[in-house]
């Protein structure tokens, strides 16, 4: 029986020169779970293009699995780990993907953190799109509150999000 | 309806047979509705009716083409009035194909839509533009021929149908299988009970493309408006392997062959099995192998299974899958029923089916698939002519947008199941997944400003 993968073994495999080894690592990543997101983020941000690409894929597998029904603790853990990858010391592409992941598994707490990125010119639009996906009236209130202190352009974008969140499917597409 | 009125295609109001009724009783032909003839004369009621804004049978339809590369280039008419593309090279090549008059060239489709003299537009852009452009074109009073796949998300599909109906526009989706004679033969063969009740359809198709190259910062070529190319999608930096045809292999934008030829193959499945109006639940599971040797992230192999209910049957998309040995082809589908089977290869502008279906003649009272009555014409051109004629008739076209949305729903939910790595149940009646909040967050895409539906 193969040994249970560890974060260390996962990272080693993700950095492996062989495509098959990297693929195997990606497919096993969710067995380790959300604790691997941080270390994988570091590889994703690195200069080894092949390892970076594999790390990106592994993070997605973990995050989407964490968002499954009846696993709120894992979704929260994934959100906490992803939030760390949104820091400005990470490359824009890592931040953007982490932000997108937060839009899929995050809640009001993550939306509140994402709202702080609306004034970050590198990822402001990514942050808005992610917040837009997160359901709940608290997020509406957050967007309205954020709009008050936003630039004219920022307010216009937030207004688009608010409208989209309250779309009537019977009328969408109709002026 | 007057006796001279053009009968609608089978997928519309006339000659409708419910999916359940068909699937459950396909072995007995007796339930089929009456056959209908397609008059080759021009009915009086399609003559020009200015009060309703309808074009007459002999009126010229002024066309503008949006998206002039790839398949979009095939829609350029000798007399196209306007051309639009974000790439100057595409525009220049397209302009050479217009022989009558000088088309106005645009890089922003909104300017083209402002033209009052343009009646109809074709949309041959990457997928992420189809919905917004279709909606805005309908709002501007234009009829639309949009390339497949119809839309990126379930929400976009709803918007397209709403706009088409609200503004009374003819919106045709580029699923040429609906205008391809061998496909109609397969439809007639199966829907008149020749293989019994449908149990399984297996589509085989080659792998998604792959590359060994990785992203490196690359200057946007002069003449390409990359910001407009990205449009409503979340921002990605330019790279030639992300642009034009290559977008198909990025999960953010193109999402693999399942949305390309898969759309065509599933379109044929929907027609042949009578699923155009299915409103039940479908269970979807997917697996695939990520291709990690390059920058594209569409899975290299992919297998998606959709299981429909009442009665239960299964559709499979399999890359690479196994070509049918009896009737092989690069891609195609084997339709298996309770009393027989049938193979259809291809399903876009090219399609072939077995001789037994080609030789089959439905009974007069049986099901007759609609085919725009034009002799000796390429299926893709027949499909365009069906659109033009539908505009003149004021009737929905063969691949009406609502059918397009019904069809693309299966690849959309298949890709979501693959991304999430779990089996999902989608309810057509509510257009949502059952008991999976995360999956439901994938049913719409937030748009980059200033774009919105």
Q: What is the mean pLDDT of residues B387-405?
A: 98
Between residues 25 and 54 of chain A, which touch chain B (CB distance below 8 Å)? 26-27, 30, 49-50, 53-54
Summarize chain B as % helix, strand, coil (round to 5). 30, 20, 50
Residue B445 scores a pLDDT above 90? yes
Contacts of A54 in chain B (CB under 8 A): 292
Q: In the predicted model, what is the mean pLDDT of residues A147-160?
A: 96
The sign of the dihedral angle between the CA atoms of B187, B188, B189, B194 is positive
Residue range B319-345, pLDDT digits in tens: 999 999 999 999 999 999 999 999 999
Give yes or no for residue B263 having a pLDDT over 80. yes
Among the residue ranges B42-46, B115-119, B302-306, B367-371, the one predicted with the least confidence is: B42-46
> What are the E-state strand segments in B290-388?
301-308, 313-319, 332-337, 341-346, 351-353
Q: How sure is the predictor about A5, in pLDDT bands with cuts at 50, 70 and 90? A: confident
CA-based nearest residue in chain B for residue A20: B292
DSSP at B120? E
Q: Looking at the complex, does the CB of residue B213 fall below 8 Å from at least one CB of chain A?
A: no
Helix (H) or strand (E) holding B246: none
CB atoms within 10 A of CB B323: 18
pLDDT at B54: 63
Q: Compute the distance between CA of residue B448 and CA of residue A160 in angstroms, rounded to an integer.
A: 9
pLDDT at B21: 40
CB contact under 8 A, B447 and A164: yes
Span A24-73, pLDDT tens digits:
999 999 999 999 999 999 999 999 999 999 999 999 999 999 999 999 99
Say if residue B178's pLDDT is above 90: yes
Share of chain A above pLDDT 70, in %: 98
Burial class (CB in 10 A: 0-12, 13-18, 19+), B115: middle
DSSP structure class, residue B156: H
Q: Is A105 close to B438, i.e. CB distance below 8 A?
A: yes
pLDDT at residue A101 greater than cutoff 90:
yes
Distance CA B237, CA A90 (A): 16
Do A157 and B449 make contact, defined as CB atoms within 8 angstroms? yes
**B29 or B63: which carries more pLDDT confidence?**
B63
Q: How far is A1 from chain B, CA to nearest CA, in Å? A: 23
Q: pLDDT tens digit string along B127-167?
A: 999 999 999 999 999 999 999 999 999 999 999 999 999 99
In whole numbers, what is the pLDDT of chain B averaged over residues? 90
Q: Is B112 helix (H, G, I), strand (E, B) or coil?
A: helix
For residue range B5-18, what is the model confidence (pLDDT) as tens digits?
Answer: 224 444 433 333 34
Residue B414 phi, psi (nearest 5): -65, -45
* % of chain B beyond a pLDDT of 90: 86
A50 neighbors A18 (Cβ within 8 angstroms) = no
> According to the model, what pLDDT value does residue A111 have?
98
Chains A and B form CB pairs within 8 A to the count of: 116
What pLDDT shows up at residue B99?
96
Strands B313-319, B301-308: pairing kind: antiparallel
Q: Which of A106, A124, A125, A114 is nearest to B441 (CA)?
A: A106
**pLDDT the model gives residue B293:** 87
Mean pLDDT, rounded, for B415-425: 97
State if pTM tops 0.90.
yes
Q: What is the pLDDT of residue B29?
A: 33
Report d(CA B406, CA B220) in Å as an integer.
37
Q: Which helix (H) or strand (E) holds B271?
A: helix B261-273
Kindly tell me if the per-residue pLDDT of B33 is higher than 50: no
Q: What is the pLDDT of residue A2?
A: 58
Q: Residue B167's closest chain A neighbor by CA?
A: A174
User: Does residue B26 carry a pLDDT above 60?
Assistant: no
CB B229 within 8 A of CB B69: no
Q: Is this complex scored with an ipTM above 0.95?
A: yes
The Cα of B449 is separated from the nearest Cα of chain A by a number of Å equal to: 6
Residue B421 contacts A, CB cutoff 8 Å: yes
Mean pLDDT, chain A, rounded, equals 96
Phi/psi class of residue B345: alpha, beta or left (left: φ > 0; alpha: ψ in -120 to 50)? beta
Q: Is B448 helix (H, G, I), strand (E, B) or coil?
A: coil
Q: How many CB atoms lie within 10 A of CB A8?
A: 10
Q: Token digits for B99? A: 């022989």
Strands B198-204 and B171-174: unpaired
Residue B248 — very low, low, confident or very high, per pLDDT cuts 50/70/90?
Answer: very high
Report the residue from A22, A64, A75 with minimal CB separation from B419. Answer: A64
Q: What is the distance between the alpha carbons of residues B409 and A51, in angstroms, rounded to a whole number? A: 34
What is the mean predicted confidence (pLDDT) over A117-144? 97
Q: How far apart are CA B288 and CA A1, in angstroms?
A: 24
Predicted confidence band at B42 (pLDDT cuts at 50, 70, 90)?
A: very low
**Does the bond joining B194 to the residue before it have cis omega, within 30 degrees of 0?**
no
Is residue B364 over pLDDT 50?
yes
């Amino acid at each position: 029986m193969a040994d249970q993968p560890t974060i260390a073994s996962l990272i080693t495999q993700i950095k492996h020169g062989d495509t098959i080894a990297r693929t195997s690592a990606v497919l096993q990543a969710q067995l380790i779970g959300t604790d691997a997101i941080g270390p994988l983020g570091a590889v994703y941000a690195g200069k080894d293009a092949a390892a970076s690409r594999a790390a990106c894929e592994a993070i997605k597998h973990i995050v989407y699995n964490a968002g499954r029904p009846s696993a709120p603790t894992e979704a929260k853990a994934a959100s906490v780990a992803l939030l760390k990858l949104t820091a400005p010391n990470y490359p824009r592409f890592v931040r953007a993907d982490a932000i997108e992941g937060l839009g899929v598994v995050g809640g009001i707490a993550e939306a509140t953190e994402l709202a702080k990125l609306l004034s970050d010119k590198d990822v402001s639009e990514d942050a808005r799109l992610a917040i837009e996906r997160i359901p709940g009236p608290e997020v509406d209130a957050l967007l309205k509150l954020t709009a008050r202190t936003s630039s004219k352009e920022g307010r216009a974008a937030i207004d688009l999000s608010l409208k989209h969140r309250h779309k009537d499917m019977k009328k969408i597409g109709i002026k | 309806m007057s006796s001279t009125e053009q009968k609608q295609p089978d997928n519309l109001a006339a000659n409708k047979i419910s999916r359940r009724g068909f699937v459950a009783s396909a072995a007995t032909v007796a339930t089929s509705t009456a056959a209908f003839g397609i008059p080759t004369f021009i009915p009086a009621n399609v003559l020009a009716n200015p009060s309703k804004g309808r074009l007459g049978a002999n009126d010229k339809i002024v066309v503008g083409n949006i998206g002039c590369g790839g398949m979009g280039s095939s829609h350029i008419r000798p007399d196209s009035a306007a051309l639009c593309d974000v790439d100057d090279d595409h525009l220049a090549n397209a302009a050479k194909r217009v022989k009558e008059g000088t088309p106005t060239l645009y890089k922003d489709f909104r300017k083209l839509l402002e033209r009052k003299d343009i009646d109809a537009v074709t949309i041959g852009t990457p997928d992420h533009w189809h919905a917004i452009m279709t909606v805005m074109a309908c709002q501007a009073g234009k009829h639309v021929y949009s390339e497949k796949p119809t839309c990126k998300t379930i929400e976009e599909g709803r918007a397209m149908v709403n706009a088409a109906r609200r503004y009374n526009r003819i919106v045709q989706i580029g699923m040429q299988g609906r205008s391809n004679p061998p496909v109609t033969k397969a439809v007639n063969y199966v829907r008149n009970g020749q293989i019994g009740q449908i149990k399984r359809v297996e589509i085989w198709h080659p792998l998604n493309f792959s590359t060994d190259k990785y992203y490196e910062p690359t200057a946007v070529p002069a003449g390409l408006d990359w910001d407009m190319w990205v449009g409503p999608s979340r921002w990605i930096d330019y790279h030639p392997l992300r642009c034009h045809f290559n977008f198909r292999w990025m999960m953010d934008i193109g999402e693999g062959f399942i949305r390309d030829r898969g759309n065509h193959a599933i379109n044929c499945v929907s027609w042949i099995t009578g699923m155009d109006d299915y409103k039940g639940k479908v269970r979807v599971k997917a697996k695939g192998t990520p291709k990690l040797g390059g920058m594209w992230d569409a899975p290299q192999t992919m297998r998606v299974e959709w299981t429909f209910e009442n009665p239960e049957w299964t559709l499979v998309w399999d890359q690479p899958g196994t070509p049918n040995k009896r009737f092989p082809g690069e891609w195609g589908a084997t339709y298996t029923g309770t009393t027989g089977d049938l193979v259809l290869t291809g399903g876009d502008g090219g399609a072939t089916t077995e001789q037994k279906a080609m030789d089959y003649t439905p009974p007069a009272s049986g099901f007759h698939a609609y085919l725009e009555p034009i002799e000796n014409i390429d299926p893709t051109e027949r499909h365009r002519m069906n659109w033009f004629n539908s505009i003149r008739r004021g009737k929905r076209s063969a691949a009406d947008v609502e059918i397009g949305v019904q069809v693309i729903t299966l690849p959309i939910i298949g890709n979501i199941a693959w991304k999430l790595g779990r089996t999902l149940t989608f309810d057509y009646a509510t257009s949502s997944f059952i008991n999976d909040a995360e999956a439901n967050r994938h049913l719409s895409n937030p748009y980059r400003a200033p774009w919105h539906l």
